[in-house]
Structure 1
Amino acid sequence: MVPAGYYKKYVILEELDPGFGIQGAPEGFARFEGNRNGITLSLQIRRLREGTAPYTVILIYEKNNEIGVLRAGNLDVSHMNGIFRRNLDYEAIRSLGMAPENIRYILIAAEHRDRIFLPMIGICGKAGAWDESIRQRLLRKEPVRVEKHEKEFLLNGESEKSAVEAPVRDPDYDGKNKIDALSLERKLKETFEKTEPFLNPRHDYVWYKINDLAKLSNILFACNMKIPLFANPKILVGLFKYRHLIAGIYRSDRNRMNYFVLGIPAKDDADGKPFEKICRWVGVSNPEYGDMSGYWLVYINLANGEFVS
C-alpha cells in the first residue's frame, strides 16, 4: 500500500514552437514524485538544441480562478540532452497557493526581453489543450479583457456591429516592436486573393484567402507580428482539410482602431478551438469546402499586438 502523500505522475513533453530540435523534434517527459516532505520534479529531454541562454522550466497552475507562474529553474542541456531536477517542499508550495492537482502546464521556455519561445510543453490533466494567452501572461502582458456587452460588437452570426476595445498601454512596447500595419495590409493585398467568406459582407472587414501558410507567416514576421502559426496543430489541420485559411483587416467604426483577424475553418463549433478563450465561432455555408460550417476567428489589435479575449 502506498502511504498518503506518496505518488508518481508522468507528463509527456511535446514540441510547440519549432526550430529548437536537432535531427527531429525534441521529445521527453516530466515526472512528479510526491512524498511526505514535498514534490520532486524531474525532466528528461533529448534532441534539444543548446541555446545561447539557458532554457527555463516553468510551471503554470491555477489559484483562486487565476493563473500562477512558478519559474522552477534552468534546464541543463548538453549533447542534445536536457536534464532537470528540483525539490519543492510543501511549505513553499502552500505559500504560492499552488496545489499539485492544479498544475496545468509544464513549459520549457527560451525567454528574451520582449519575446518568449516555448520549444516544449507538457499538458497536465484537466488543462486539455494549450492556451496561447499563457504566453502573454509570461511576458507580463495581460490579455485585453472585453466585457460581455462589448463582445457583442465583434463579428458573430447575429451581430452587425463593430468591436469595442479600450487601448492598452504596455510599458515594454516601444517603437522598434511596433507592428507595421500599413505594410501588413499592402503585403496581404499583393500576395493573396481577396475574398468574401460570409453571406452578409461588411464594409469594415477586408478578407483574403490564405492557401500558403509559409507566405503568411513570413509576412507577419516581417511586419513584427509574432503568431506561432506552424506551432498550432489545429491551424495546420484546418488548412490541410479545407485547403485554406482566411485573414484580413477589421477597421472599427466605433473606436477607430484596426485589428488583424485570422480565421481557421472547422467542421463545427465543437471542433476544438485553435486558441482557447481568445477566439469566437462564426458559421458559414459553403458547399465548396465539404463539411466545413464556419471559422474560428482570433483578433489582434494592431496598435499594441495584443490578442482580444
Structure 2
Amino acid sequence: MLNASTRTAALYDRVRRVIPPLEWPAFTDDIEAILDLKRQRNAVILAHNYQTPEIFHCVADIVGDSLVLARRAMTIEADVVVLAGVYFMAETVKLLNPDKTVLIPDTQAGCSLADSITAEDVRLLRRRYHGIPIVTYVNTSAAVKAEADICCTSGNAKTIVEALGVPQVIMLPDEYLAQNIAAQTAVKIIAWRGHCEVHERFTPADIRQLREDHPGVTVLAHPECPPEVVAEADFSGSTAAMSDYVGQKKPARVVLMTECSMSDNVAVEHPEVEFIRPCNLCPHMKRITLANIRTALEQNRHAVNIGPEIAGRARLAVERMLAI
C-alpha cells in the first residue's frame, strides 16, 4: 500500500494543471483522512461534474452528470454513500438505495430549480391539464418527483418526452430546458417558469464577446441556458455530452457555458485543449468541501431519509426514466 505522502503526491500529479502548488498542501490532510475513512466504512463518494477538482479527481469513486450518478447508484455495493453534490441528488441516490446510508455533507446545498416548484404546484398543474403526462427534471425534490409520471435529465429529456408517445407533455421546472427540447421535437411542451441561477445569467452577448476575444473558440452551452444562448453556441448538451464532445472533437480552444468547476475537471483529462473560462459559480455546489466530506464520514452526517409516503412514488418516477 502506498504511504500517505506518496498517495497524495500521485493525486497531485493528476490535478497540477488546475490546482496551484501553493494551494495543494491545504487539501492533503483531508484527502488522506477521506481515503482511509472510505476503506474503514466501506463507503463510496459520488461527485457531480460541478465539484471542485480536489473532490472530483482526488476522493470521488464515481463521477458524472445526474444521469450517470443515478444509473451508477443502482449498482453500488458499499454500505455508505456520500453525495458530493446538491440535496436533490442525494435524495435520488437514497430513492434507488433505500437500504444504504446516504450522506450529504451540507444540507443547505440546494438548487434554485428544485426550490422553484412544490408538490402542491404539481398537483395544481395536474388538475388544470387533466390527462397530460408530467415529466419532471431530476433537479427537483423527492416530493415533486412523487407527483410526476416520469423523470428526465438534460441528457435524456428529448428521449423521455418522445418515448411517452403523446402529443403534449408538461415539463418542469426548467423553462429554458423545456424550450430547448421543444425546439427539437414535435411534442408540444407546457413549461414551468423555473430557472437555474447559474445558467440563466449567460447571454448571447457573452458568446459574441468570447468569439471576438478568442478567435476560433468552440462554444458549448448547457441546455439550462436561455434558448438564444443555445442558438449562438456551436453545441448544446448535458455536462456529460459536453465532456464527450471535447474528448471526441478535441477543439483547439473551447469554452463551456456552465458552472465553473466543469472546465477544470474536463481540462485535467485533455491537456492538449485550451479552455477559456468565463463561467458562473454555483454557490450550492461549492458548499461541498473536503472538510465536510471528511466530517460526514467521521460523524455519519447528514443522513438522507425520505418518508415512505413519498419514497415509493418518487422512486417509480426515477425508475421509469432509467428503464427507457
The structure richer in strand per residue is: 1
The structure richer in helix per residue is: 2
TM-score band, normalised by the shorter chain?
A: under 0.3
Normalized against structure 2, the TM-score is what? 0.23
Task: Work out which of the two has the higher radius of gyration on C-alpha atoms and give 1 or 2.
Answer: 1
